[in-house]
Structures are given as C-alpha cells and as structure tokens.
Amino acid sequence: MIGEERVIYLDNNATTRTAPEAVQAMLPYFSEYYGNASSIHKFGGRLAKVVEEGRAKVAAFLGADPSEIIFTSCGTESDNAAILSSLDVCPKRRKIVISTVEHPAILNLGKDLERRGYTVVRIPVDNFGRLDMERARETIDENTAVVSVMWANNETGNLYPVEELAELAHRAGALFHTDAVQAAGKVPFKLRDMEIDMLSVSGHKFHAPKGIGALYVRRGVRFRPFVVGGHQERGRRAGTENVPYIVGMGVAAELALASFDKENTYVRKLRDDLQARLTAAIPNVRVNGDQEHRLPNTTNLSFEYIEGESILMHMDIYGICASSGSACTTGSLEPSHVMRAMGVPYTAAHGAIRFSFSRYNTQEDVDAVVDVMPGIISKIRAISPYWADFVAKNKQ
Ligand code: PLP
C-alpha cells in the first residue's frame, strides 16, 4: 500500500517485498548489535558468528557448502566478480561466451571487455528465446576462459540448459558461470551435484532487502577478488560485513527453501490463470518465450499494435504494477534487447508486458487485473493507427 491506494504488485522480477520475518530479524543489528564483525572486542567480534549463520542458510538454500559463498552487494557485483576473476585466473584465454539475452550486468560488461581487447561471443536464441546449442558447441573452445549463460531470463522467465553448458565449458577447459538472479527462489538448486563453477544471486529478488547478493564459487575453483581491500570474506571480497543484510538474506533464503513447492503450485497456478484469462478475453495477445521451460512466476504477453508504456500507465491508474521490456533511448521507445534477440515482430515487441508473481500475490490480484485489462487494451487500441490499419486489412 502506498498511502491509501491498493497496490497490485505483479513486478516481482524487478524486485520483491522484503519478507516481514527478514525485516524483524534484521532490526536488532542496526541499532543494538551494530558492531563490526571483524573487531577484536566481543561486542563486534561475536557478530562473526551471526555472519556465518547467514552464510550457512544461504549455502543450504543453494545446496552448497558455506565456504563456497561470498557475500556481495548485489547481483551485478556477483556477475562482474565472476567474469573478471575467470579472465584473471586464465590469462592466456581471451574469449568469453555469453548469450544475447543476458542481463545488462553481463552484456555491458561484455562490451567493456571487447573495448579491452577480449573476444566476446554472444550465442543467439530462436523465436521462443531458446539458446542455439549447436552454436554454443561450435563456439566454446580452448581459447574460452568462461562461459556465462543465465539460468532464467528476467523478461520471459525462460530457463536455460545450464548443466549442459557447464559440461561443454569444462570439456574445453573453460569455467562456467551462471547468473541465477531470477532463478533463485523459483527453481530449487543442488549445486553440490552440479558442475557449475560460479553462480550469482541477488537478495532483493527473493524477499531479502536490496543491497545484498552472493556469489557461489565451487570449492577448488581459483578466484581473484573484484573488490580489493580488507581481509573480509576470507580475502575474497573486501568491505565491512553488512551484518543486518546478511541476517535478512539468511532468513529470506530459509523461507525460500521452504517455499519451493508453493512456487510450483500456488504461484504457478496464479500465473497460468492470469495468462489463460487474458489471452482468452483480449484478441491479438502473443505469449513471448518458451512456455515449456519457464519460471513458474513469469508471463510475458504482447498486446499487439500498441505501446507497452501506454499500457503500463493505464494499469498504474488501477494500482497495477508490471513492466514493459522497452527502454527509452534517445526519446524513442525501443523494444528490449531480449525481444529483439528473439525476433519478436515489431508490432508485438512494443506491446510486451511482463507480469511476475510472488508467493505474496493472491487470486484477488489476478481477478482485479483480468477485470480491467480488456478495457485498457480496447481504449488504447481505439486511438492506435497501427491497430486501425490491422483491423482495416483484416476486413478486406
Ligand atoms: N541478473 C538478472 C537476470 C537480473 O534480473 C538482475 C536484476 O534485475 C540482475 C542480474 C542485477 O541484480 P541486482 O539488481 O542485484 O544488481
């Protein structure tokens, strides 16, 4: 709720509500137990144990050993740390392999690395957003330092074959990293049974606060720190330990671990219900992405011949929060890089809206959206020349 307004929050891939249990657990560590976990005195020093408890909870959530978890400030930092470390520890290998649908945390780092003389290969996807595995097989070679492909895409929810990619990377002697920022909390992990070398997560995507992330580095994988300074995190990430946020992330990880079933039943059902009812009630709606291999909480729908921003503004009047994939660049609305990479037609890419759920959503949220969306879409289409054109052509 903002003021008295009702908020229907279907933008959980952007960020999530911090779990009330996490907030409660964090509170004493701001003004009561505010010491520095690295201090010699008991007041601070005993917080080292609290940090380790948080680490153990995050490790259990990921199916990893606590010694394999490094706390960071966010998913972006974890992604940067993983890629830059891989290049540092394999200096003779000058190539990184990513996909065309990565988050900017990886894509823009890739551009930066190209400017520094590295080769960056971006594996394309098909119309459903599925990765071209043939291309991956051809590309990953003995000059590749690291392969980094996301576990789940933030816009479509598409899941990528990370185990198969890890195997390809290892066959070529390369490291494998995955950005699991969207997958964490929605897909159960058992990293100890997998070949993944490094994995990034971000607290605020699974009901921990913003400003805390983690990087999993499999035991035995060489790692060079990205943030250099003090000895914290066993010299792998400098900076005073963020005790309250580590506590919050630990509690959120525990809750997420206990909620995987709910993600796949309750949350999936809400998502499927919204998608089915909107596609039935509104003409010319396209479902973007791979419906078979997708996160249970995400649906990306294109309302053809109109602009996503306009749809979002109308939804906002009713307190409904979602996202469009467009980015406003130089005053013109460009479809997102994910929609472009998938070759979604121009008339559909512009009207793409992502609805993303969490366990805090309810059936009433879905019903409220289904009530207002047909009216919103008709109203916008009534003034769209592209829609008028489409209707005229289909009358002939
Ligand atoms: N990777 C993916 C797939 C994301 O969706 C996001 C955030 O939207 C990030 C990385 C960046 O995470 P953070 O906001 O914690 O830096």
Phi then psi for 69, rounded to 5 degrees? -105, 125
Both 303 and 187 in one domain: the answer is no
Both 226 and 294 in one domain: the answer is no
What's the pLDDT score for residue 325? 74
Look at the chain and report how many structural domains it folds into.
2
Both 236 and 333 in one domain: the answer is no
Both 73 and 178 in one domain: the answer is yes
Check whether 112 has a pLDDT greater than 50: yes
Residue at 129 is within a domain: yes
Both 251 and 152 in one domain: the answer is yes
- Rounded Cα distance between 299 and 315, Å, is 16
Residue at 87 is within a domain: yes
Weakest-pLDDT range from 178-182, 195-199, 391-395: 391-395
Look at residues 233, 257, 281 and tell me which one is the last residue of a structural domain. 257
CB of 213 shorter than 6 A to ligand 1? yes
Å from CA of 16 to ligand 1 middle: 12
Check whether 291 has a pLDDT greater than 90: yes
CB of 335 shorter than 6 A to ligand 1? no
Query: Is 328 known to be catalytic?
Result: yes
Both 231 and 307 in one domain: the answer is no
Give the residue numbers spanning the domain of 38: 20-257
- Rounded Cα distance between 315 and 319, Å, is 7
Question: Which element (helix H / strand E) includes 119?
Answer: strand 119-123
Choose the catalytic residue: 74, 90, 321, 328: 328
Q: Report how many helices (DSSP H) and strands (DSSP E) the chain contains, helices first.
A: 16, 15
CB of 311 shorter than 6 A to ligand 1? no
Both 238 and 313 in one domain: the answer is no
Å from CA of 251 to ligand 1 middle: 20
What's the pLDDT score for residue 328? 57
CATH of the domain at 142: 3.40.640.10
Both 132 and 230 in one domain: the answer is yes
Q: What is the pLDDT of residues 239-272, one digit of tens each?
A: 999 999 999 999 999 999 999 999 999 999 999 9
CB of 90 shorter than 6 A to ligand 1? no
Q: For strand 285-288 and strand 298-303, is the pairing parallel, antiparallel, or unpaired? A: antiparallel
Check whether 293 has a pLDDT greater than 90: yes
Residue at 1 is within a domain: no
What's the pLDDT score for residue 326? 66
Both 249 and 269 in one domain: the answer is no
Both 249 and 263 in one domain: the answer is no
CB of 75 shorter than 6 A to ligand 1? yes
Residue 115: both structure tokens together: 């400017």
* 217: Cα within 13 Å, side-chain hemisphere: 22
Q: Which percentage of the chain shows pLDDT scores above 90?
A: 95
Residue at 198 is within a domain: yes
Residue at 318 is within a domain: yes
Check whether 51 has a pLDDT greater than 70: yes
Q: What is the pLDDT of residues 130-187, one digit of tens each?
A: 999 999 999 999 999 999 999 999 999 999 999 999 999 999 999 999 999 999 999 9
The confidence band for 1, taking pLDDT boundaries of 50, 70 and 90, is very low
The confidence band for 4, taking pLDDT boundaries of 50, 70 and 90, is low
Mean pLDDT of the chain: 96
- Rounded Cα distance between 335 and 285, Å, is 16
Q: Which percentage of the chain shows pLDDT scores above 70?
A: 97
What's the pLDDT score for residue 395? 82
Residue at 344 is within a domain: yes
Å from CA of 59 to ligand 1 middle: 20
Q: What is the pLDDT of residues 26-50, one digit of tens each?
A: 999 999 999 999 999 999 999 999 9
CB of 350 shorter than 6 A to ligand 1? no
Both 314 and 238 in one domain: the answer is no
Look at residues 218, 242, 257 and tell me which one is the last residue of a structural domain. 257
Which atom belonging to ligand 1 lies closest to the Cα atom of 204? 15
Å from CA of 372 to ligand 1 middle: 30
Which atom belonging to ligand 1 lies closest to the Cα atom of 154? 5
Residue at 62 is within a domain: yes
Check whether 2 has a pLDDT greater than 60: no
Which atom belonging to ligand 1 lies closest to the Cα atom of 153? 3
Check whether 3 has a pLDDT greater than 70: no
CB of 154 shorter than 6 A to ligand 1? yes
Closest CA to 64 of 271, 293, 253, 301: 253
Look at residues 257, 272, 295 and tell me which one is the last residue of a structural domain. 257
Å from CA of 181 to ligand 1 middle: 6
Q: What is the pLDDT of residues 314-348, one digit of tens each?
A: 999 999 999 997 665 556 678 899 999 999 999 99
Phi then psi for 114, rounded to 5 degrees? -60, -40
- SS3 (DSSP) at 303: strand
Which atom belonging to ligand 1 lies closest to the Cα atom of 74? 15
Prediction pTM value:
0.96
The burial of 331, by beta-carbon neighbours within 10 Å (0-12 exposed, 13-18 middle, 19 or more buried), is given as exposed
Residue at 2 is within a domain: no
H helix intervals, 259-384? 260-262, 268-281, 308-317, 337-341, 346-349, 363-382
Both 364 and 291 in one domain: the answer is yes
CATH of the domain at 343: 3.90.1150.10
